[in-house]
Amino acid sequence: MNFKQKYVFLFPGLFVLIGILIFPIIFVVRLSLSGWNSYNGLNFIGLENYIRLFTDDPRFWESFFRLSFLSVTTVILQYVIGFALAHMVWKDIKFQRFFRVLFLIPMMTTPVIMTVIWRTFFHESLGPVNDILSNFGMSPKWLTDPVLAKVTVIIVEVWQWTPFMFLLLLAGLLSLPKEPFLAAAIDGASPIRKFLYVTFPLMAPISIGAIIIRLIEASKIMDTVYVLTSGGPGTSTETSSFYIFIKGLREFQMGYAASMSFTYLIIMIISLTVIAKVLTKLMLKD
Amino acid sequence: MSKIDLNNISHTYNPNDPEPTYALNPFSMTWENGKRYAILGPSGCGKTTMLNIVSGLVRPSAGSILFDDKDVTDLKTEDRNIAQVFQFPVIYNTMTVFENLAFPLLCRDFEKDKINERVNSVAETLNLQSFLKSPARKLTADQKQLISLGRGLVREDVAAVLMDEPLTVIDPDLKFRLRRKLKEINEEFKTTLVYVTHDQNEAMTFADNIIVMSEGEVVQAGTPKELFERPNTTFVGYFIGSPAMNLFETEASSNDCVKINGTIIKTNTNLSKLKDKKIKLGIRSEFIDIAEDQKDNLLSVEVEKVEDLGNYKLLTAKMGNLKIKSKINRETVVPTSDVKLHIPAEKCCVYENNKLI
């Protein structure tokens, strides 16, 4: 059966897809081949932007590796903490419902506002964190030391997004079949063995999904950095998206920013595909 | 291997309700060491609850369980030393077949040599030697179920192996082979096997003793022969056997006779106290035959249809509004219209209020 009317039904979805996804990508590609800035139009300059990016811009690559470090670290921490919390409230414990809701609260807050609050928390002279630490003779430079600034970004990101990981993993744990756990109890497995040989392998597919979703999200770290450190001190917390933002929307080098965006998109697609494959191989062994 | 006593066991899942509903009504029973038991009944009759009470996954609301006269009611599953095989194969996906079989021994800190010896012995019994080094997840469903079983058998001192519809996922042909394997294992290891199923055929071919359950009640426990020939209730008569037992609403006409559509049928049951009471006469289709030289206990019936079911013929006949089924030899020539059926008195079961007299 070949109804021509089917195209009428396809059109709304296709229109939205073209409007919000395909057109912007094609536009970015075209833009990246131009020297477009605030005063001249879409003049075609060939691969000039890409040549500049690959040969003459170490700052982009530094920000990219920094981003990789930050996103991998935060996602690993989120996974470990999220799994531990989910495992805790999965079992019948007192105030189980209360804890389940409590652990979700950070996710319900507005990230930018929470980051402002965190910035106040970690403020070196006015913040309560250093106020407490000063009693022990310490006053770490949370936002102005290159290493500690990264730690601060990681803390805030982990606080904000662990609940998401917690939610996915708890849903996974609650959907697990009972029999493997009963069988392990009958076999006399200790709680550690039960976790290693039953819970963890059964959770592998859900874990992979959760990690990939969070990696995609984490690779866009921008608002936290913008509010917390503005990429500083120097460029020590500058991530790819923040650097692209500076080039495009502060310095108005639209063409160059577009070439960075497109390169970044390609790298992310390749690396996330590889990561997904490696994780599947490691965790599912099939 | 143990003798298992169930004393006045009962269970409800809503004990705090003013009127709790019982998943398992009070019953007592002893399971002898080294025998094969089948718990048989339709879905939701309390079979799995009974099994879980024995394995310790459910604590009974009342009553006690004794393993070799030792009270284990309050012991946890892991301390009861039982093995359980579930409906769907449960294996440790990340381990090899060897590691799977060795796991219960490893958890109990057995010596390496002992583990090797036991695993190899069990693998040989279950024909799994050639797979010992393969990842367990790569095996077929029936092989995985054998691993589940093997993990139970690998412990020599296991009190009983409990199986909850373990052959559901297995092909019919393999089911038959696995059942035979289970029997062999029982004979070799003298392990008490308890097998939950809703398939009467499985229960009849597997068990020494069958416990038939209905709506949380143990309605009859006995050998397959007893259940087949003398069902305690009409439910058992109906549930066991294919086709189900013929049951006729009737009334006693004398001390040992009943009247079916005006025909007097003699039974071996004393009916003197049941005159004018509504009773049911039950007879298996296997025991009804086309009358050749018999003179008594004959029913004149009209043949409705004859089905050839391979190794026998199934005759469906009508007598007024009664339907009668009879399994007859496939060589027998069946008349197409009227026929006389012989009802042997010694095989007749009489029921009052659906209970055998």
CATH number at residue A62: 1.10.3720.10
Please confirm whether the linkage preceding A146 is cis (ω < 30° from 0): no
Domain of residue B329, CATH code: 2.40.50.140
Nearest chain A residue to B164 by CA: give it.
A179
In a domain, A43, yes or no: no
- Average pLDDT for A68-83: 95
A187·B95 Cβ contact <8 A = no
Within 13 Å, how many C-alpha atoms sit on residue A90's CB side?
A: 21
Chain A residues with CB under 8 Å of B145 CB are none
Considering the domain architecture, whether residues B283 and B173 belong to the same structural domain is answered as no
End position of a domain, from candidates B208, B235, B262:
B235
Q: How many CA atoms lie within 13 A of A88 on its CB side?
A: 16
Total structural domains in chain B? Answer: 2
B197 in the same domain as B281: no
- If one counts the domains in chain A, the total is 1
Contact state of B86 with A188 under an 8 Å Cβ cutoff: no
Q: Which helix (H) or strand (E) holds B152?
A: helix B141-153
- Write down the mean pLDDT value for chain B: 86
> Residues 6 or more apart from A247 whose CB is under 8 A from it?
A253, A256, A257, A260
B155 pLDDT tier (thresholds 50, 70, 90): confident
Among B84, B95, B153, pick the best mutation site for testing chain A contact (most A Cβ within 10 A): B84
Cβ-Cβ pairs closer than 8 A, A with B, add up to 51
The predicted-structure confidence for B188-198, as pLDDT tens digits, reads as follows 878 888 989 88
Q: Are A237 and A150 in contact (CB under 8 A)?
A: yes
CB B297 within 8 A of CB B343: yes
Residue B13 shares a structural domain with residue B156 = yes
CA–CA distances in Å: residue A144 to residues A232, A236, B222: 7, 9, 83
Check CB contact of B75 with chain A, cutoff 8 Å.
no
Which residue of B82, B83, B90 is in closest CB contact with A179?
Answer: B90
Q: What DSSP element (H or E) covers B84?
A: strand B83-85
Same domain, B159 and B65: yes
| Token couple for A134 | 């000063």
For residue A202, which residues of chain B lie inside 8 Å, CB to CB? 93
If residue B89 lies in a helix (H) or strand (E), which one and from where to where?
A: none
Chain B residue with CA closest to A196: the answer is: B94
Q: Is the pLDDT of residue A172 over 90?
A: yes
Domain end call among B235, B267, B292? B235
Last residue of one domain, picked from the residues B215, B235, B255:
B235
**Higher confidence at residue A139 or residue A116?**
A116
Q: Are strands B322-329 and B338-342 parallel, antiparallel or unpaired?
A: unpaired
Domain that holds residue B296: 244-356
Establish if A134 belongs to a structural domain. Answer: yes
Mean of pLDDT over chain A? 88
CB-nearest to A197 from B86, B92, B148 is: B92
| Closest residue in chain B to residue A191, using alpha carbons only | B107
Domain with A127, as residue range(s), is 58-284
- Do both B178 and B256 map to the same domain? no
Q: How far is B206 from chain A (nearest CA, A)?
A: 24
Is residue A26 a part of any domain in this protein?
Answer: no
Considering only CB atoms, which chain B residues are within 8 Å of A197?
92, 94-95, 103
- CA nearest A282 in B: which residue? B94
Q: Are residues B256 and B183 in the same domain?
A: no
User: Residues B166, B312: one domain?
Assistant: no
What's the CATH code of the domain at B21? Answer: 3.40.50.300
Q: Are residues B140 and B192 in the same domain?
A: yes
Residue A22 lies in a domain: no
Cα nearest neighbour of B102 on chain A? A187
pLDDT of residue B274: 79
Answer whether residue A94 shows pLDDT above 80.
yes
* Same domain assignment for residues B89 and B134: yes
pLDDT at A211: 93
Residue A275 CA: distances (Å) to CA of A76, A102, A147, A212, A278: 13, 32, 26, 8, 5
Give dist(CA A111, CA A117) in Å, integer: 10
Q: What are phi and psi of A71, to 5 degrees?
A: -70, -40
Q: Looking at the structure, tell me whether residues B274 and B332 fall in a common domain.
A: yes
**What pLDDT is recorded for position A281?**
85
Residue B118 near chain A (CB below 8 Å): no
- Assigned domain for A266 exists: yes
Sort out which chain A residues have CB atoms less than 8 A from B88's CB and list them.
177, 179
